[in-house]
Amino acid sequence: MRAVVLVGGFGTRLRPLTNNTPKPMLPVGHHSIIESVVSQLARGGISEVVLALGFRPEPFVAAFPDGTCAGIPLTYAVEPEPLDTAGAIRFAAMAAGIDGTFVVVNGDVICDVDVAALVAFHHSSGAEGTLHLTAVENPSAFGVVVLDGSGVVQRFVEKPAPGTETSNLVNAGTYVLEPSVIERIPDGRKVSVEREVFPLMVADRTLFGLATDDYWLDTGQPHLYLRANLDLLDGRRQHERCAAVAPGATVAPSATIRHSVVGEGAVVGDGALVEDSVLLPGASVGDGARVRDSIVAGSVGAWASLLSCVVGSTATVAEGLELTGARVPDPTA
């Protein structure tokens, strides 16, 4: 079975990390998010992946020069302009000639769902589409779903106003779809699967949902991206683990790395402290600097102090500077 993986978004909420790197190409542990997504699909019996690309296709092509990811053959469908989620599904499915049941995954979701079980449920219920659902504490940031006793989606409301949610079950970003769904998507314009296509299927009672309680996390915001890394480090994933410090990182013997992921080629100077943080490949932390609850892709000067900050790959935090809750450079400036 084939899967379309949506990777063409702008990743605005993760700026500045996504200024130069598409969100699915950012690492969780020492592998990219997209590798984790494709590995999970492979475990669920997916044999070919179509990457639905728009914004910045080049890093994907460069990262998988032999045309495979996690051992799965890739094809690329590059939209001439961003078509939004349903437009991207249609474009990729048409480009790849998909004519049977297929899977769609958001390329920024890290999860342990059993895709084969989702497909089996889809076939046994005779659904036109099946959504993987997960329970969350704050559903208003997601597509909120109400199911009836047989798994038919009765309501799908994308990002309802806080306090108006009618369920804590949300769209977890993995779908099994029949090709008839492609025909529901208008051609040649932006179409949101969550706002336009799913509500039509709900009205026709052809959309089903299957809730699971395995590991699930949407990496789209800095605190969640950080958590995805620390969860992997803490052994919370079913099939994946990661070492705290990549073999190609250089950490001074007098530095302290506590509950953090230090990427390939990162450098940590004498007496520095890195705690509850992620240093991306190539990041540097100067002598005596303190980095806590932060994500660093760029450079932190000696004796600087960061708490809950995000430092982009081209940024330098000046020596001795103290920052709390900052994004460097500021994406809103």
Nearer to ligand GTP, 82 or 281 (CB): 82
Q: Which part of the chain contacts ligand GTP (CB under 6 A), choosing from 7-15, 63-71, 115-123, 317-325?
A: 7-15
> By CB under 6 A, is residue 7 in contact with ligand GTP?
yes
> By CB under 6 A, is residue 85 in contact with ligand GTP?
yes
> By CB under 6 A, is residue 83 in contact with ligand GTP?
yes
DSSP 58-125: HHHHHH-TTSEETTEEEEEEE-SS--HHHHHHHHHHHHHT--S-EEEEETTEEE---HHHHHHHHHHH
* 3, 6, 25, 273: residue in contact with ligand GTP (rule CB under 6 A): 6
* 2, 23, 122, 237: residue in contact with ligand GTP (rule CB under 6 A): 23
Angle, to 10 degrees, between the axis of helix 33-43 and the axis of helix 115-125?
50
Q: Which of 128, 125, 87 is nearest to 4 (CA)?
A: 87
* CA pair distance 56, 283, nearest whole angstrom: 22
Q: Which of 184, 188, 186 is nearest to 201 (CA)?
A: 184
> By CB under 6 A, is residue 128 in contact with ligand GTP?
no
Nearer to ligand GTP, 53 or 72 (CB): 53
* 16, 27, 44, 54: residue in contact with ligand GTP (rule CB under 6 A): 54
Q: Which part of the chain contacts ligand GTP (CB under 6 A), choosing from 11-19, 120-128, 144-152, 300-308?
A: 11-19
* 45, 57, 82, 331: residue in contact with ligand GTP (rule CB under 6 A): 82
* 11, 29, 143, 269: residue in contact with ligand GTP (rule CB under 6 A): 11
Alpha-carbon distance values, 174 to 40, 45, 94, 108, 126 (Å): 11, 14, 19, 11, 18
Sites of contact with ligand GTP (CB under 6 A): 6-13, 23, 52-54, 79, 82-85, 88, 106-108, 220
